[in-house]
Amino acid sequence: MNLLNDTIITKATMKKTLKGSSDYIRVALSRLSKKNKLARVTKGKYTKISNPFVIATNLFTPSYLSYWSCSYFKGYTEQIVNTMQVVTTTRHKNIDFEGYFFEFYNTSKKNFFGYEKIKAGKGFVFAADNEKLIIDSLLKEELLGNFDEIIKIVSNAEINSDKIAEYLNKINNKSLNKRAGFLLEKYKGIDLSKKISFYDNNYVRLSKLKYCKEINKKWRIKV
């Protein structure tokens, strides 16, 4: 059955393929689950894929992997994670699935951009590109465990200066621009000061998670 090649299988897709009644589809899904040909992920959604990154980012459309789990997926951290942190445009309940935890974070459609489709085994993972991963992480640094994990991303990821400047200007958050600009200049040698709007009289903390005592006058930031 070609349907079993799909990443996520629903009652609707089963019914379209098998052209049976709802009761017949329910019984068919139950039998496939008992024979370990399918695994139930959540109500009405099943899979034959074992990769949790693939499953998590294909359950709901649109969605993409971000934060600490994306850093791990891309190899920017040595920390092992079993939580898949997924950004969506609609609210969804978190899911426990075979030793993994799928967390869903709702964002506005305006800020839902900057992700890529990456081949992974028999499926595809939708993941934040490097530039958006940095931005997402700075906006919700508590989801990275500690600020050093963000520094690892900035240090290890390949960054396109024009792309991240475009993203920052689109979001238009001066506090975010100061923090991103400082980190990219310090750890990548990328100077965004003429590409983004950041200057005002306010100083912001580089991290909410640690004490900051030094001052960087250029970026108006407490380090």
**CA nearest to 194, candidates 165, 164, 215, 222:** 165
Range from 4-13, 37-46, 103-112 carrying the lowest mean pLDDT: 4-13
What pLDDT is stored for residue 1 in this prediction? 45
Average pLDDT over residues 101-115: 97
Confidence of residue 96 (pLDDT cuts 50, 70, 90): very high
Angstrom distance (rounded) from CA 107 to CA 28: 36
Query: CB of 29 within 8 A of CB of 20?
Result: no
Token pair recorded at residue 174: 């001066």
Whether residue 36 has pLDDT greater than 90: no
pTM for the structure as a whole: 0.92
44-55 burial code (b ≥16 CB/10 A, e <16): ebbbbbebbbbb
**What pLDDT, in 10s, does the model give residues 130-174?**
999 999 999 999 999 999 999 999 999 999 999 999 999 999 999
